[in-house]
Amino acid sequence: MSDERWVETAERALADAGRKRGGARRAVLELLGEQHCALTAPEIERALAGTAKRAVSRASVYRILDELEGLAMVQRVDTGQAMVRYERVCTQEEHHHHLVCDKCGLVMPFSDPALERAIRGLSARVPLAVAEHEIVLRGSCRQCQTAGAPTGS
Amino acid sequence: MSDERWVETAERALADAGRKRGGARRAVLELLGEQHCALTAPEIERALAGTAKRAVSRASVYRILDELEGLAMVQRVDTGQAMVRYERVCTQEEHHHHLVCDKCGLVMPFSDPALERAIRGLSARVPLAVAEHEIVLRGSCRQCQTAGAPTGS
DNA sequence: TTGAGAATGAGACTCAGTCTCATGATAATC
DNA sequence: GATTATCATGAGACTGAGTCTCATTCTCAA
């Protein structure tokens, strides 16, 4: 995905919704535009505070993420790590889920067409009008497996 | 599933692990044994405090849930509601996932063999040694659809 | 330039979950 | 039955995510 394109699209969506521009929102948009996977709100707050970028208060981070979620420009991702993560909404072919390493907390994206088909089929059979789905696979990443494994000693 | 059987099994597992018996743990086990779906720790704390059952402190609730998780008698379930839920570990054929109503917060169990097959196939193809998986479908439950829908006016 | 109203920051607040430590209960031993 | 080591428990302080309020700053249309 084009990062800049996403930032522009989001700014246009905000303008269309009658929102004025602001420096805090611009900083959050640019940060999200650079990411390849989901961030937590505290990560966003720290990333903006700790760099040359403009610092943005916690309240503003949450407010901006809520607005963007309302405009379908970001989506919430729950990886079972006690914090909600947020990421840019992707184009259809980039729809993905997450692998989470229980040992080091690493979050990686993955996608699988067969799984998506299974989910679509299932959605018709459950007593719920399904709007979204979320799949998280949990285990040990390559690095933690290597680190944890006995290495021939 | 037999509720009492699960409670007995859990107590035996605890005894086998060298644990002494205690009233708080007994109360938590009995409460979990009566449930059909996942509860949060605060729900457990409140349920035990508000009834004729023995009240159990928050620290004990978390401690007991951790122990039971370590013995594979309960499992954590993340439904994206900002709180971890816990439920009894079921026999194989009862393995299930969750439907969550975004409007009223209702959590319902569901299971689907085709989905399980898709997940097993996928687990071999990702760069993670998959230990668990979690699937949450989110949307509107029947009741909220009815309540929200215009009824012929 | 001005003013209405949106955007923002500061920080108090709520609540889930963790941690520590003093006290209570259990069960093995005598 | 008494003793005692040790586990189980409760109370409550503490941490950190997320919410809320309100005063201040900024945007932009007039």
Whether residue A133 and residue B130 make contact (CB cut-off 8 A), yes or no, is no
What does the alpha-carbon distance between residue B23 and residue B12 come to, in Å, rounded to a whole number?
15
Q: Is the dihedral of CA B9, B10, B11, B12 positive or negative?
A: positive
Whether residue B108 and residue A128 make contact (CB cut-off 8 A), yes or no, is yes
| Residues of chain A positioned with their CB less than 8 A from the CB of B69 | none
Q: Read off the tokens for A142.
A: 């390559």
Q: Using the structure, give the distance in angstroms from the CA atom of A37 to the C1' atom of C29, rounded to a whole number.
A: 60
| Residues of chain A positioned with their CB less than 8 A from the CB of B133 | 135-138
Question: Measured between alpha carbons, how far is residue B35 from residues B4, B93, B137 in Å?
Answer: 12, 17, 21
Whether residue A129 and residue B108 make contact (CB cut-off 8 A), yes or no, is no
| Cβ-contact A135, B135 below 8 angstroms | yes
Measure B98 CA to nearest chain A CA, in Å.
10
Number of other residues whose CB lies within 10 A of the CB of residue A121: 13
What pLDDT digit, counting tens, does each position of B81-130 carry? 778 899 988 665 567 888 988 878 888 888 888 888 889 888 889 999 99
**Residues of chain A falling short of pLDDT 50:** 151-153
For residue B40, the one-letter residue type is T
pLDDT (0 to 100) of residue B10:
94
Residue B151 confidence class, pLDDT cut points 50, 70, 90: very low
Burial class (CB in 10 A: 0-12, 13-18, 19+), B134: buried
What does the alpha-carbon distance between residue B148 and residue A120 come to, in Å, rounded to a whole number?
24
pLDDT (0 to 100) of residue B57:
95
| Cβ-contact B137, A130 below 8 angstroms | yes
pLDDT (0 to 100) of residue A106:
83
Q: What's the rounded mean pLDDT across residues B7-11?
A: 93
pLDDT (0 to 100) of residue A95:
76
Phi and psi for B151 in degrees, rounded to 5? -105, 60
For residue A33, the one-letter residue type is G
pTM here is: 0.81
State chain A's mean pLDDT as an integer. Answer: 86
Burial class (CB in 10 A: 0-12, 13-18, 19+), B108: middle
Whether residue A130 and residue B122 make contact (CB cut-off 8 A), yes or no, is no
pLDDT (0 to 100) of residue B24:
95
Q: Note the Cα A87 to chain centre separation in Å.
A: 2
Give nucleotides in strand D with any atom < 7 A to a protein C-beta.
6-13, 16-21, 26-28
For residue B2, the one-letter residue type is S
| Residues of chain B positioned with their CB less than 8 A from the CB of A129 | 139-140, 145
What does the alpha-carbon distance between residue A123 and residue A99 come to, in Å, rounded to a whole number?
22
